[in-house]
Amino acid sequence: MARRLNAPYFGKRYIGDSETKILHDVDKETPSCRIDTIPRARIQMFEWLSIPSEMNYSGCQFCMPGFKAGGKS
Ligand SMILES: [Zn+2]
């Protein structure tokens, strides 16, 4: 899948769901990620991993299985 350039994505690499605290890597997105089903009000976009890590996001099991909050990806 490709990055989404339109709002609310704006071409950034990482998409987070602020309620589930699951982070997706758009460059490795799989159909199982179902990013398009995340309610827009819960979408948080990140270009770097340091911020979502501090916000206790964890990686999606499909596209970011190695990423854990507070750790290194
Ligand atoms: Zn994912």
Model confidence pLDDT, tens digit, residues 2-55: 788 888 887 899 999 999 999 999 999 999 999 999 999 999 999 999 999 999
Residue 3 CB partners (closer than 8 Å, separation 6+): 9, 11, 12, 13, 26, 27
φ, ψ for residue 33 (rounded to 5)? -65, -35
**For residue 26, how far is its CA from the centre of ligand 1 (angstroms)?**
7
For residues 42 and 18, the answer to whether their CB atoms sit within 8 Å is: yes
Write down the pTM of the prediction: 0.87
Residues bordering ligand 1, an ion, CB closer than 5 Å: 24, 33, 60, 62-63
Alpha-helix runs per DSSP H in the chain: 50-54
Please tell me the distance between residue 1's alpha carbon and the centre of ligand 1 in angstroms. 11
